[in-house]
Structure 1
Amino acid sequence: MTAPTQAPAETAETAAAQGPGPAPVAPEARRMPLVLRNRAFGAVWLGQVLTQASVRMFQVGVSWWLVAYAVQDSGGLASGLFMAACTLPAVVLAPVVAKAVAAFAHRSVLRSAAALAGAGAAALALWAQGGGLPVPAVYAAALALATCQAFFDPCLTTSVPELVDDADIETATGFELSTQSLAGLGGALLGALVVDRAGLAWLAAGCAAAYLAAAALVTSARFGSPAPAAGDSGSGSGSGSDGADDLAEAAPRRTLRRILGELPYVRRILVCFTAANLFTAAVFVVIPLYTRSVLEGGGGTVALLEASLGTGALIGAFTGTRVPGRPTVAGAYCLGLMALALALPGLFAHRAVISGCLAVAGWCAGAVSVRFVALFQRLVPTADKPGFFAVMQAVLGASLPVASLVFGTAGDHLSPQVLCLVQGVGLAPAAVALALLGSTAPTPEPEPVPDPVGGAQ
């Protein structure tokens, strides 16, 4: 059985009359972009674009505000603490997120997370408009927004099979992962510029408007019942509009440790990327420090560099499936190329050089993400997906607070160019480990392509 998909001309009444089964999709319709021929997925995807664009705009804007305006003597540490606050909830709350995503209707989780984030951003905007906004209050707002995003992202990833056909899972994954790239691009173009030209209050107000619009879009979407993944024992069919209750009855709950324990190959991949994230995540701390100390630029320069990173990641998310080779081999090559791209600005201090290098690094990140998340979508049983994607976010995110604090503190004592070299050198062992993992795999890895028979084996 496959998940339901709405054709562009299908009405809600027709879909309801057909029941939870898949809606027929004509060959002509399949040539249309997924977000246009599947209205429910398009609405939820756009909602994710808005939420992640908001949180990224907030991160970029506040990071620049701390370095350029609020903190003079220890801007690196202040920026590092802020980025740590932005990444900590996804790690600490992983078990809570997994239980919430598995226990409640996915549409309700997504809508509530976006609405609460909008309310928090609006409160911060009102406070900042009154003047005298203390730095700890900004940190608290960052924690609140990151907490909401920690629920939103894994819930949306889990919901993909409820919104699209099995044949569209990889395409939907590419669109979903491209959201982070679009968000980075939006934050690059708006975050630092808004702070320079309008102040922190207007930055928070823009974030609030985007979050509330995302909540409205999610509310308008119709969710279906997910198709069973490889290894599922039940059919996973049901009649609930969100599919959460049917999923709960299809298989017993399993602990996060057991889920990863039964997927040793996936677990090793996650460890490799966790180590890589110790150095890749530092780019968000290095960019404002490099702009201020090396390039001697302002918010426009921060916008250019963030836009380069986001544009590269966006292109990588849509072209990642064209990278030849098995996922681990392709991933190793991409990490090696990223290591070179992040190290070069440490040797050549020029705006065009660092902009081009960040574009290449972003492309590598986007290409790797779409290959591996599509692989995980097919390897992980449906009943385990809420727990798995929550723990995946936590495992990959565990290195982010550490990287932010270490590189932020080091930025007050070392040149940003030295930090760039450290990033490149640190990524090399992760690339080698991923390559060795591919060469010693006991069985051939399934390629992330649609399998009409029954998914990955």
Structure 2
Amino acid sequence: MTASPVAASETEAGVAGETGGRRAPLILRNRAFGAVWLGQVLTQAAIRMFQVGVSWWIVAYAVHDARGLASGLFMAACTLPAVVLAPVVAGAVARFAHRSVLRTAAGLAGGASAALALWAYGGGLPLATVYAAGLALATCQAFFDPCLTTSVPELVDDADIETATGFELSTQSLAGLGGALLGALTVDRAGVAGLAVGCAAAYAGAALLVASARFRTTAGDPADPVAAAAPPRRTLRRILGELPYVRRILVCFTAANLFTTAVFVVIPLYTRSVLRGGGGTVALLEASLGTGALVGAFTGARVPGRPTVAGAYCLALMALALALPGLVAHRLVIAGCLAVAGWCAGAVSVRFVALFQRLVPTADKPGFFAVMQAVLGASLPVASLVFGSAGDFLSPQTLCLVQGVGLIPAAVALALLGSPTPGPAVAEPSGGER
């Protein structure tokens, strides 16, 4: 990949920052990537804060009967756009300049948050309005996340792709941590109005950061003048059809997500019904999960073994961590279990997204990462509704045990996948991917 003058100047700045042969962190030596990464931190933190805060608001304040169903329905609404809009997202990412897509998504989300804040300050906030706001923010995020993943090669050199992937995936961990610390606590102190104001500020900051970054032009990119002469991109069905190894991995993780993502519905129910805690307890548990995922995102590349084997071990460990709170109802024990589960999720994400960056042809990446988000996200609304509804009839401890048991088949299936079959679209993984 030939670097542009912008990339070259940023590389020189990074070299100048080296001391004693040690390079500065990627986000410091590559200013464009640093700005876009920080923008993603803000957008992910905003939507996570909104989801955590509203889930707690529903369980603790807004709904008195069928709390599980109400919170599950909200989480389902927040996960539907990534699934339903996958073809639209893929088309937009492939057709328009990536910086424009990122900036527009963040700006529209900021406007939706500001509108909700004004409505909430006026009083009489209907539950349906909060659901609609969650749907709007999730729709904007459905465009932002795959577009940023696709944009990584436009921001960093090939040698930095894995490092950039680690930073990018750590965003979700940072967001989970931020949502844990701010979401429920903000609702306890300032209500939904204060929550919406914080989200609006974060989205506005993200839009400004993305607008300040300069993206290099790569072959096949919509901003490339010769892109129009490039061969037409393949359909989403054909992309996965020609990558059977990747397809099987996605199926395994889709099944696993049916049980792992239920934790976001279980945490507020567990806090209220079992621990008898408030927003501070929700913050502690969410912070434990987010901190573990953050550490996992930065250490995942060091986990030994093939990605499928390492992923299988991580899923098995996560199964144990999610099931233990069903047997031991102690706040610190549960916080530790969630930290372990978060680490497993972060480590697995880094290994496999970095692998996909190398296995998927460049021209197919816009469509692939959109369909990846859709395939993995397809289980989220189902898990939210099923576990939320079940939470009105089963104890949160029982739900924890179901989560742990449900992960075992996915771990076994992943371990049996083996290595990818060499082919024209399969590149030899490097570094930690060997």
Please state which band the TM-score falls in when normalised by the shorter chain. over 0.9
Correspondence for 1:300: 280
1:160 paired to 2:152: yes
Correspondence for 2:384: 404
Indicate conservation of the 8 Å contact 2:17/2:29, yes or no: no
State the SS of the aligned residue for 1:313.
Answer: helix
What is the rounded CA distance, in whole Å, between the counterparts of 2:79 and 2:248 in structure 1?
22
Indicate conservation of the 8 Å contact 1:3/1:163, yes or no: no
Following superposition, the deviation at residue 143 of structure 1 comes to 0.5
Indicate conservation of the 8 Å contact 1:102/1:248, yes or no: no
Indicate conservation of the 8 Å contact 2:3/2:216, yes or no: yes
Following superposition, the deviation at residue 245 of structure 1 comes to 5.2
Q: How many residues align?
A: 429
Indicate conservation of the 8 Å contact 1:117/1:211, yes or no: yes
What per-residue deviation string (whole Å, max 9, x for no partner) do you get for residues 98-150 of structure 1?
A: 00000000000000000000000000000000110000000000000000000
Indicate conservation of the 8 Å contact 1:260/1:266, yes or no: yes
Indicate conservation of the 8 Å contact 1:6/1:23, yes or no: no
Following superposition, the deviation at residue 73 of structure 1 comes to 1.1
Scaled by the length of structure 2, the TM-score of the pair is 0.95
What is the rounded CA distance, in whole Å, between the counterparts of 2:404 and 2:63 in structure 1?
28
Correspondence for 1:269: 249
What per-residue deviation string (whole Å, max 9, x for no partner) do you get for residues 163-195 of structure 1?
A: 000000000000000000000000000000000
Following superposition, the deviation at residue 26 of structure 1 comes to 3.4
Following superposition, the deviation at residue 441 of structure 1 comes to 4.9
Which one of the candidate residues 15, 21, 41 is aligned to 2:33? Answer: 41
Question: Alpha carbons of 1:253 and 1:447: their partners in 2 closer, same or farther (altered >3 Å)?
Answer: closer
What is the rounded CA distance, in whole Å, between the counterparts of 1:395 and 1:246 in structure 2?
31
Indicate conservation of the 8 Å contact 1:328/1:435, yes or no: yes
State the SS of the aligned residue for 1:198.
Answer: helix
Correspondence for 1:208: 200
1:255 paired to 2:244: no
What is the rounded CA distance, in whole Å, between the counterparts of 1:361 and 1:299 in structure 2?
21
Indicate conservation of the 8 Å contact 1:321/1:367, yes or no: yes
**Equivalent runs, 1:279-358 vs 2, <5 Å:** 279-358=259-338
Following superposition, the deviation at residue 198 of structure 1 comes to 1.0
Scaled by the length of structure 1, the TM-score of the pair is 0.90
Correspondence for 2:142: 150
Indicate conservation of the 8 Å contact 1:125/1:205, yes or no: yes
Counterpart amino acid of residue 115 in structure 1: G
Indicate conservation of the 8 Å contact 1:104/1:244, yes or no: no
Indicate conservation of the 8 Å contact 1:375/1:446, yes or no: no
State the SS of the aligned residue for 1:437.
Answer: coil
Aligned-residue identity in percent: 81
1:173 paired to 2:158: no
What per-residue deviation string (whole Å, max 9, x for no partner) do you get for residues 287-314 of structure 1?
A: 0000000000000000000000000000
**Equivalent runs, 1:356-367 vs 2, <5 Å:** 356-367=336-347
Counterpart amino acid of residue 390 in structure 1: A
1:376 paired to 2:356: yes
What is the rounded CA distance, in whole Å, between the counterparts of 1:339 and 1:35 in structure 2?
34
Question: Alpha carbons of 1:416 and 1:3: their partners in 2 closer, same or farther (altered >3 Å)?
Answer: farther
Correspondence for 1:79: 71
Indicate conservation of the 8 Å contact 2:316/2:408, yes or no: yes
Correspondence for 1:26: 15
State the SS of the aligned residue for 2:146.
Answer: helix
Give the RMSD, CA atoms, in angstroms.
2.2
State the SS of the aligned residue for 1:199.
Answer: helix
What is the rounded CA distance, in whole Å, between the counterparts of 1:370 and 1:67 in structure 2?
33
Following superposition, the deviation at residue 253 of structure 1 comes to 1.7
Question: Alpha carbons of 1:107 and 1:324: their partners in 2 closer, same or farther (altered >3 Å)?
Answer: same
Question: Alpha carbons of 1:28 and 1:200: their partners in 2 closer, same or farther (altered >3 Å)?
Answer: closer
Counterpart amino acid of residue 353 in structure 1: V
What is the rounded CA distance, in whole Å, between the counterparts of 2:13 and 2:287 in structure 1?
39
1:424 paired to 2:404: yes
Question: Alpha carbons of 1:5 and 1:192: their partners in 2 closer, same or farther (altered >3 Å)?
Answer: farther
